[in-house]
Amino acid sequence: MINTHDLWAMEHKALSSLLASMSVMQPDPEAGRRDGLMEPGEYTVSNGVAVIPIRGVLSVNPSYYGKLFGYATAFADIRTMAAEAAQDPAVEAIILNIDSPGGTVAGTQETAAALRAAGKQ
């Protein structure tokens, strides 16, 4: 069950939709793989540009959401991908490819700091 005591950074309509969906959906841990979504923690590089995918609900520990919806993004995965891309000699620039309604507030400050640090390298 979703922790409704967490502070969420999502538009009210998106959060309401998430909660309504959770009440009727059956967990499907293989959904993301069938849909061809990337595994968490993978970024791509094309012409010197790293593209960091940020999909679904954002959370410190999204394992429940990942199982329920087939995909989600952990803040730690974003930080790891940014740090790895910043150190990758093939990368000259980093782009965030975001398709997310938002998520929990916890983890956003640390992730923003990591993204700023990656941008300075």
pLDDT of residue 63: 62
Mean pLDDT for the stretch of residues 30-45:
63
How far apart CA 104 and CA 118 sit, in angstroms, is 22
Count helices and strands in the chain by DSSP H and E runs: 5, 7
Regarding pTM above 0.95, the answer is no
pLDDT in tens, 41-71: 689 999 999 999 988 888 888 765 564 554 6
> What residues contact 53, with CB distance under 8 A and at least 6 apart?
38, 42, 43, 44, 73, 97
Contact (CB, 8 A) for 18 and 101: yes
Domain residue spans of the chain: 8-120
Q: How far apart are the first and last CA of the chain?
A: 40
How far apart CA 53 and CA 35 sit, in angstroms, is 15
